């Protein structure tokens, strides 16, 4: 049976890892991106702004995709704009692919803000008890995830394809130029600390430092997306997706520090976000890049201080339950410290950070 994947956001941390995984399984892959970062080798690259309905209709007119994976979103200034822009992205693509009858499955990647609420209403609603479970449903707040889901459900009913929704926690994985990449951000931060002699201070809350947490390796979500694409048990279902282990940051933080040969500082009395401490990072990183011959001298293309601050600054414990996914047949596991160290090793190999 023909398996042709159209990946929206194929150059991002999830999309690029998914593309690599599907290609290894023998899929044909068309990778949609805005063209700022290359898609993985083996993909057919398609440069496209998925929020432009006319452009999407023209570009996808002759694409015979059997599966579409939405792995990217476009951040806007307000949640109302997030809803308008990101909902349109899903609607545009499905309106272009649906009528030809080839589309069998559409997968949408969202995240734990489904349970927590969007950034401008983070944790302000009645946040469910952890671990988050799919049955806990939506918050009573505006959220572009819900808009994307609704556009997905409507199109699936109209055109007769199955769907799945995937909710990762914070992603660990290799990608450059990605707006939400904690693993790369922490690698850059540790490198800056090592070069300057500054302490490696946890930038988050005491609730995150002391509470139980989990994360999602990009390879882990890629495997779940591939499994759900053709699994009858996954049809028309929503799934959490994390690595399968849990940890506390006060345990993991010193281990990340040890990898870089630096010492982890004690948790400060007040929260110390990265965004407020990185005023000189751009100049310092340019010097490090020149000294070590790194491939990217612009720290803004590597580190997303705001996103790491938002994730680690949460005032509550955040973790998820994987029971629904396991009962349906997805049993993969990924060790979280190993995911970090594997990423750091690759960043060194690719000369993104000093070896």
Q: Which residues are known to be catalytic?
A: 113, 145
C-beta separation of 8 from 72 below 8 A: yes
Distance of CA 183 to the CA centre of its chain: 11
3-state secondary structure of 216: strand
Report the distance separating Cα 171 and Cα 177, nearest Å: 14
Backbone phi and psi for residue 132, each to the nearest 5 degrees, phi listed first: -65, 135
**Which residue is listed with tokens 């700022």?**
36
Q: What's the token pair of residue 66?
A: 């059997």
Q: What's the token pair of residue 151?
A: 């556009």
Over its C-alpha atoms, the chain yields an Rg (Å, rounded) of 20
DSSP structure class, residue 200: B
C-beta separation of 119 from 78 below 8 A: no
Distance of CA 152 to the CA centre of its chain: 19
3-state secondary structure of 76: coil
């Amino acid at each position: 049976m023909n398996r042709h994947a159209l990946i929206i956001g194929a150059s991002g941390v999830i999309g690029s890892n998914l593309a690599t995984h599907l290609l290894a399984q023998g899929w044909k892959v068309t990778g949609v991106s805005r063209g700022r970062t290359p898609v993985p080798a083996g993909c057919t690259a398609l440069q496209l702004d998925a929020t432009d309905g006319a452009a999407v209709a023209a570009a996808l007119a002759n694409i015979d995709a059997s599966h579409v994976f939405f792995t990217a979103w476009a951040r806007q200034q307000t949640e109302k704009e997030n809803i308008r822009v990101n909902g349109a992205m899903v609607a545009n693509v499905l309106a272009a692919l649906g009528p030809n009858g080839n589309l069998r499955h559409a997968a949408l990647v969202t995240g734990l803000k489904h349970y927590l609420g969007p950034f401008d209403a983070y944790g302000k609603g009645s946040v469910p008890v952890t671990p988050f479970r799919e049955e806990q449903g939506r918050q009573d707040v505006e959220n572009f995830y819900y808009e994307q889901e609704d556009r997905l459900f409507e199109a699936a009913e109209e055109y007769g394809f199955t769907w799945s929704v995937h909710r990762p926690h914070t992603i660990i994985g290799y990608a450059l130029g990605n707006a939400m990449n904690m693993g790369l951000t922490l690698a850059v931060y540790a490198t800056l600390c090592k070069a300057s002699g500054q302490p490696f201070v946890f930038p988050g809350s005491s609730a995150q430092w002391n509470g139980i947490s989990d994360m999602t390796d990009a390879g882990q979500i890629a495997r779940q997306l591939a499994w759900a694409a053709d699994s009858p048990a996954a049809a028309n279902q929503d799934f959490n997706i994390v690595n399968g282990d849990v940890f506390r940051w006060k345990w993991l933080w010193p281990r990340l520090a040890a990898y870089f040969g630096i010492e982890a500082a004690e948790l400060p009395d007040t929260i110390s976000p990265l965004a407020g401490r990185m005023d000189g990072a751009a100049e310092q990183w340019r010097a490090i890049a020149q000294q070590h011959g790194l491939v990217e001298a612009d720290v803004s293309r590597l580190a997303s201080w705001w996103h790491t601050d938002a994730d680690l600054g949460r005032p509550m414990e955040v973790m998820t339950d994987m029971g629904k996914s396991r009962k349906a047949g997805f049993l993969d596991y990924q060790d979280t410290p190993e995911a970090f160290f594997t990423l750091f090793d690759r960043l060194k190999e690719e000369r993104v950070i000093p070896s």
